[in-house]
């Protein structure tokens, strides 16, 4: 089983990639999209979004990060992909799935799925622009208004030379509403030769097993599920070889939350720091009852010193618990 960490604009940035790959169970990450319009971007823009480029295109835990490009002009996409390849990106990923209205209005993301030929031209241009050893992958939804062109888009991506395809099993119109239509991924797999990765609505180990069974994919991409349960990737990996694993305990999560907060304070703008911690706690409370308590305690707190104090007290209390309680 291969587990990839999904790109999520405004959530899964380099800070959270760092922490989640420390927990383990992630084989590769894809960055948030880098918007390409009508120019060759300077290196500093790529580094701002994918600072891992300065460290061999890997997170501090050693997990590769593939930079993702979003745009509709094949020539400009190719030029920027070539620059990323020169900078040592672990690969180039192409976004054909973003459902954001502002992106779709400008012909990017999921809007491109209405024109399979254009999708193919973009992939082919990027594939020609980068060295053969640099992987070129793509991420698509099932379609824009509906899934009528899903197979056509997947075939266009395959025939244009992509090395891997991630399918988010919903249309743009579906947004993020459940369910994800994993059976449609199976349909796509029957039509293409390249490896297919299943994505969408994988929150638990049971979801992962069901997705694998329905889609036929041994490669999964997890996003919100990994944010809510950082041990999910590890549990998926272990289940294939050693059976179900014990859930990640809160006592293990607390040091990761403290490390996340330290990174947020050192790397991000002061105005967004408290919000980023609350954003993650909001996801974590889906899996951890203790995260609900933490979220309620901090939801009106914006002073970093008060957050530092709260985290210090939580860590101290966790360290003082008997071993049997801490592991419970």
Catalytic positions are: 98
Distance CA 306, CA 300 (A): 11
CA 126 → CA 74, 76, 79, 96, 256, distances in Å? 7, 9, 8, 14, 37
Tell me the backbone φ, ψ of residue 94, rounded to 5 degrees.
-115, 130
CB contact set of 120 (below 8 Å; sequence gap of 6+): 156, 157, 159, 160
Tokens 């990174």 correspond to 263
What is the rounded (10 degree) CA torsion for 82, 88, 90, 94?
-20
d(CA 114, CA 99): 13
Give me the DSSP letters along 254-300: HHHHHHHHHHHHHHS-GGGHHHHHHHHHHHHTTT-HHHHHHHHHHTT
Closest CA to 6 of 204, 249, 201, 253: 201
CB of 185 within 8 A of CB of 169? yes
Residue 281 contacts residue 261 (beta carbons within 8 Å): no
Smallest CA-to-CA distance from 153 within 93, 197, 112 is with 112
Tokens linked to 276 = 């980023």
Q: What dihedral do alpha carbons 170, 176, 180, 185 form, nearest 10°?
A: 30
């Amino acid at each position: 089983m291969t587990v990839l960490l999904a790109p999520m604009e405004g959530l899964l940035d380099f800070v959270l990639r760092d922490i989640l790959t420390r927990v383990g169970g992630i084989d590769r990450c894809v960055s948030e999209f880098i918007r390409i319009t009508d120019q060759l971007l300077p290196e500093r823009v790529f580094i701002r979004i994918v600072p891992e480029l300065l460290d061999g295109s890997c997170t501090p835990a050693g997990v590769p990060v593939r930079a993702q490009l979003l745009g509709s002009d094949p020539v400009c996409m190719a030029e920027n992909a070539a620059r990323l390849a020169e900078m040592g990106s672990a690969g180039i990923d192409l976004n054909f799935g973003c459902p954001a209205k502002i992106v779709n209005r400008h012909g990017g993301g999921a809007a491109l799925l209405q024109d399979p030929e254009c999708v193919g031209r973009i992939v082919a241009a990027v594939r020609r622009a980068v060295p053969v050893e640099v992987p070129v992958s793509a991420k698509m939804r099932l379609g824009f208004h509906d899934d009528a062109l899903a197979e056509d888009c997947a075939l266009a991506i395959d025939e244009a030379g992509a090395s891997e395809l991630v399918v988010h099993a919903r249309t743009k119109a579906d947004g993020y509403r459940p369910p994800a239509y994993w059976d449609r991924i199976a349909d796509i797999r029957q039509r293409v030769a390249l490896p297919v990765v299943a994505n969408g609505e994988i929150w638990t180990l049971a979801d992962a097993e069901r997705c694998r069974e329905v889609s036929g994919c041994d490669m999964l991409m997890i996003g919100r599920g990994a944010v809510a349960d950082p041990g999910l990737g590890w549990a998926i990996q272990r289940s294939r070889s050693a059976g179900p694993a014990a859930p990640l305990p809160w006592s293990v999560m607390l040091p990761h939350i403290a490390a996340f907060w330290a990174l947020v304070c050192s790397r991000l703008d002061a105005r967004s720091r408290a919000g980023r911690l609350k954003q993650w706690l909001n996801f974590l409370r889906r899996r951890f009852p203790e995260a609900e308590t933490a979220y309620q305690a901090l939801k009106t707190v914006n002073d970093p010193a008060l957050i530092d104090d709260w985290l210090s007290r939580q860590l101290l209390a966790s360290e003082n618990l008997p071993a049997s309680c801490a592991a419970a």
